[in-house]
Structure 1
Amino acid sequence: MSSPFASHLGTNYCPQDEEDAQIKDLLIEPCLRLKRLDEEIAVLRKALDKLTEERDALSTYVEAHKSLLSPIRRLPRDIVEVIFLACLPMHRNCVMSAQEAPVLLGRICSSWRAISLSMPRLWSRLHVARPTVPYNTFTFSAYEAKVVQRLKVAAAWLRRSGTCPLSISLQSSHHYDTRTSWDTPRTDPFLNILIPFASRWQDVSVTIPSFAVQALLDLTEHDVPLLESLKIAEIDVDSSIEPRWLSPGSLLTVTGLSRFSLTGGDFRDHDSSSLPLSWGNLTSLTLMTRDAPNCQIILDILARCSRLRTCKVGLAEYEGEHLQDSVVECLSLRSMEVWCSFSPLNDSGRLLSRLSVPNLQDFRLDGAAAPSNSASLLSTLAACTHLQTIGFTVEMFWSHELVDFLRGLPPTLQCLRIAQQWHPSPISPLLDDNFFVTLETLAVLPTLEELIMINNQDLSDDALLHFIVSRMPTLRRVDMKFDREMQVDILPALDSFMESGAQVSLTYTTDFGYNVSPYLGLPDSPRLGPR
């Protein structure tokens, strides 16, 4: 519609007095037309609402009948059971939550609930988490009620598992309830719920306080005939309690045990090689005890583990420790992780110098940030012609050694994992732009497929992009966790790289633990991050 005021519409123009009357006259007919249109729309909307109501009722009728023909209702029960089992998490045990299977499956309909409750295998895996103890006494009654509820649910869950072998994980809090009287035996009520089902234990992982460990060790090999995997993480609440780890005939002696893990235990006057395990049957072993063994004890253990494929050990090697000249053959060993208390490169090199690991594929090293000579370790790893993955913290190396160490690794290496401490030492290597330029210039790790770095502070986004592009023919995964903010968004430049199937994950720190909000100190201060 044309208007004599078209040039002023949408502006801040203020009409003169004579123009006010002209505008009012101009709007008489349009306003009447607008009113008539609103009335017509109301009539049509009423008719539309009536049709919509009729349509919704008819649709409800049709859909209700169509649902009777739903394919899921016609599936044979055995197929439904297979689907239910496929709904369970694959990487861990099931949790007691209505947000996931199997509990969720029983909330869909009565038919599915009946099927789920009649499937023992659906309930044969369980993760039990003990609620954390409140810091104040006001909420302790609610905490106790939650504990009682969870105990009842756990017991009911396990009863539903019928006669199936069980996979169970129990997680107790480090903030454990210490109100139990000291003059009465202290027990873990959650462990007490699990023990009656010990005859069906197959895979068991428990994180429990030291006073509860003995209840586990009191079980005999006859009580756990199906046990294949046992993981014990001891929370040291009371160091005066000494579990009897070396008791003959305990569950540790069961011959079917092939995977064993112990974290936090203390053997006092003995060493971990005295554990009554069937060492020759073990395929996986983790020993991360508080009194870490020396090289010779670890070698004595490995000499008895002819079938071992994965190994993780804590190592405390003191100066002057005697080491036998004999070499221990670990022909089946594929993965090894060593945590060293004092000098990781030197001590792990000393250990591996007495090991024959021709099939080693994965080696991880962690521990104290104490640089030392890497020659002995490198000599062993260079001979591992199947080595594919290596991981370590950069603070183990002198600043001039890291590149030479990487150059000396076998050409089969495909995955590199490097972590940095939050506050790196000034004598540690810098994983900066120059480091990556050196890797490229010297063609270090030419077959690298995976690069994982944690807490990097010095590498720029542009240098990372250049390195990824230069390694595109072989590099397939990059996972970087930066201890800094983003400088440049390089992901758009890597679209074609990721479209080819490669994975790139870049994580940047956005919360540095300080607040520079201009509202700081005001009652209505918004929560702002660093600006």
Structure 2
Amino acid sequence: MACRKLVTESRLSSAGSTTHRHGSNPPPIKNLSFELLSKIFLECLPETGFPTPSTKVAPMLLSRICSHWRFVAMRTPQLWAGIDLDDHWEEDALHTSCPTHDYLKDAMAAEEWSTRAGLCLLSYRLWYTNPHFTIGMQNVLKVILSHHGRWRHITCYLPPSAWIEVFYADVWSDAPHLQYLKIVGADSVGSAGVIEVPNPGSPKIHSLFLNQCDLWLAFADTGAPLLRKVVVDNNSELTLDDCWSFLRHCPNLEVFAAYCESREPLTPTSPTTHGKILEAGCLKKLHLEVKFADSSQLLDRFHAPALETLELADYHTGGGPGPPSGYPQLARFLSKSNARLTSMNIDLDMTDDEFLDSFYHTPALTSLELHNQWRFLSTDVMDSLIMRPMYPQKHVLPSLEHIAFTGVDPWMYESIEKIVQSRWGGSAGAGLSTTMGDEMSGGWERRLRSVHLHGSDSELPSRVALRPMIMACIEEGLEVIEEPRRQSPFSAYLFSARL
């Protein structure tokens, strides 16, 4: 960052203080124009997120170096247009039985920064994990809510009781410049919390993130053409009808991620469904995790020709012993979408043929993740990923660079080893690896670069990397990561963090 190259006045004056006192040229830093120094200061802000009101980082640090820098910093309103206020309550609770935070200081900082920002729109990240809604928090909220007409970006994590006050404050109907809204922790708001799509008071919102929020969603027939990113996680009220409404009412939606825990099926006679196939023409990334309802009903209602990333999990069949229930809708969806998918992560109760059919419809995949916690995978599915010299015309997913498996059991070790052998290109990155035997030799292109394995045990990782052929590939440069079982292999929240 540019600020690492800046020097303080004391260092500058030590190099040329004598000549400066005798009336010659001032230090070089003072020869920079206001505009140039202002641009340098802006480069000192965090690359992601917003600055904190700490005197150890920009912009507060810049205003404390010398009078000239303070003059420039105080007259560069963009420096003060965003602020990150975090009480670090959970972190402090690990070290003291009674963590404290100066919320009054936060309130004063929020007010002061809004003044210094001049006419700029304001961005806030307010992350208060203290479960008690204190008077100090209330003061911070009052300051931020009072500037709702200038909001550009709002990210908030608050205790539930605080959210009730936020939603009863009539600010959402008048936030005309708000573009980004992320709400976390509003899980006890009840009927007080309603998110309108689109929101007449915030017509410019293009990104909406709701996590741990039992909020009601109200969709207007006018549509929401500006909404491009929607992530809804841990909302027990979210139904498949809501998911369908987002897809239908947001024609320019590029990213949609949802965790659907409701048992309500997609209702064919619902006003939100019209029995026709919808083209989600702008959708590029789709993450859908459905716990109790049948997600295939939704998948049959639309296609996405621009889709690049698909993450789909459906647990309504419950898994367990016995034959798979089947999920032919995935292959149908991929076929009618005819998209050039590059990343796919699926946890579905599919037959072996349905897995293969889905693979054949995604020839451009570079990343694949499959799950076995519910015993959805079989030896035939695993072995289908092995590239064999006798049948090069039948190779599936030839462009894979990254493969991940969760719920790895010992019976999968041999298949994984053969998959790696057949797809690892050696230290040169192409051609035959020195580890390959005759069975895996062949002239096909090998692009595999990394393998990520989560074991079936919550404490111990799998032991695939100890197999001799895998160890040889690792020595040549293959990345193999082994970890214990993941509690939640699917997460809309983590998916959104990677955007």
Q: Same-fold call, TM > 0.5?
A: yes
Q: Do structure 1's residue 261 and structure 2's residue 209 form an aligned pair?
A: yes
Kept after mapping to 2: 8 A contact 1:253/1:278: no
Q: What's the CA shift for 1:128?
A: 1.8
Kept after mapping to 2: 8 A contact 1:220/1:249: no
Unaligned 5+ segments in structure 2 are: 1-12, 269-273, 320-324, 431-444, 455-460, 487-499
The 3-state SS of whatever aligns with 2:204 is: coil
Q: Do structure 1's residue 229 and structure 2's residue 180 form an aligned pair?
A: yes
Post-superposition Cα deviations, 1:100-133, rounded to whole Å, max 9, x if no partner, equal 4333434544433432232110121222213316
Q: Do structure 1's residue 159 and structure 2's residue 115 form an aligned pair?
A: yes
Which of 376, 379, 384 in structure 1 is aligned with 2:332?
A: 379
Kindly provide the amino acid, as one letter, of the partner of residue 315 in structure 1.
C
**Structure with greater Cα Rg:** 1
Q: What's the CA shift for 1:340?
A: 0.7
Q: 2: CA distance between counterparts of 1:367 and 1:96?
A: 44
Which of 397, 402, 414 in structure 1 is aligned with 2:366?
A: 414
Which of 119, 129, 140 in structure 2 is aligned with 1:190?
A: 140
Q: Do structure 1's residue 404 and structure 2's residue 356 form an aligned pair?
A: yes
Q: Do structure 1's residue 349 and structure 2's residue 296 form an aligned pair?
A: yes
Counterpart of 1:120? Answer: 77
Equivalent positions of 1:432-511 (< 5 A) are 436-437=385-386, 442-451=394-403, 464=420, 467-469=423-425, 472=430, 475=447, 478=450, 480=452, 483-484=461-462, 487=466, 488=471, 490=473, 493-494=476-477, 506-509=480-483
Q: Do structure 1's residue 149 and structure 2's residue 101 form an aligned pair?
A: no
Q: What's the CA shift for 1:351?
A: 0.7
Counterpart of 1:298? Answer: 243
The 3-state SS of whatever aligns with 2:424 is: helix
1:277–1:98 distance in 2 versus 1, CA, 3 Å: farther
1:335–1:61 distance in 2 versus 1, CA, 3 Å: closer
Kept after mapping to 1: 8 A contact 2:50/2:84: yes
The 3-state SS of whatever aligns with 1:281 is: coil
Counterpart of 2:227? Answer: 282
Equivalent positions of 1:78-89 (< 5 A) are 78-89=35-46
Q: 2: CA distance between counterparts of 1:178 and 1:222?
A: 24
Q: What's the CA shift for 1:201?
A: 0.5
Q: Do structure 1's residue 334 and structure 2's residue 284 form an aligned pair?
A: yes
Q: What's the CA shift for 1:253?
A: 3.6
Kept after mapping to 2: 8 A contact 1:233/1:263: yes
Q: Do structure 1's residue 176 and structure 2's residue 131 form an aligned pair?
A: yes
The 3-state SS of whatever aligns with 2:386 is: helix
Identity %: 18
Q: 2: CA distance between counterparts of 1:119 and 1:365?
A: 46
Taking structure 2 as the reference length, what is the TM-score of the superposition? 0.69
Post-superposition Cα deviations, 1:476-507, rounded to whole Å, max 9, x if no partner, equal 8636365357644855523xxxxxxxxx7554
Kept after mapping to 2: 8 A contact 1:211/1:243: no
The 3-state SS of whatever aligns with 2:230 is: strand
Kindly provide the amino acid, as one letter, of the partner of residue 493 in structure 1.
E
Q: 2: CA distance between counterparts of 1:187 and 1:106?
A: 27
Q: 2: CA distance between counterparts of 1:479 and 1:126?
A: 39
Counterpart of 2:259? Answer: 314
Kept after mapping to 1: 8 A contact 2:352/2:380: no
Kept after mapping to 2: 8 A contact 1:406/1:445: no
Q: 1: CA distance between counterparts of 2:377 and 2:181?
A: 39
Kept after mapping to 2: 8 A contact 1:406/1:444: no
Post-superposition Cα deviations, 1:240-264, rounded to whole Å, max 9, x if no partner, equal x425234999966422223223233
Q: What's the CA shift for 1:446?
A: 2.0
Kept after mapping to 2: 8 A contact 1:232/1:263: yes
Kept after mapping to 2: 8 A contact 1:252/1:276: no
Q: 2: CA distance between counterparts of 1:511 and 1:303?
A: 37
Kindly provide the amino acid, as one letter, of the partner of residue 170 in structure 1.
L
Q: What's the CA shift for 1:461?
A: 7.8
Kept after mapping to 1: 8 A contact 2:174/2:201: no
Equivalent positions of 1:7-46 (< 5 A) are none
Q: What's the CA shift for 1:474?
A: 7.0
Query: How many matched pairs?
Result: 423
Q: 2: CA distance between counterparts of 1:258 and 1:73?
A: 42
The 3-state SS of whatever aligns with 1:78 is: helix
Q: 2: CA distance between counterparts of 1:290 and 1:361?
A: 26
Q: 1: CA distance between counterparts of 2:279 and 2:212?
A: 28
Unaligned 5+ segments in structure 1 are: 1-59, 181-185, 495-503, 513-531
Post-superposition Cα deviations, 1:39-68, rounded to whole Å, max 9, x if no partner, equal xxxxxxxxxxxxxxxxxxxxx986767998
Which of 304, 309, 329 in structure 2 is aligned with 1:362?
A: 309
Kindly provide the amino acid, as one letter, of the partner of residue 155 in structure 2.
S
Taking structure 1 as the reference length, what is the TM-score of the superposition? 0.65
The 3-state SS of whatever aligns with 1:469 is: coil
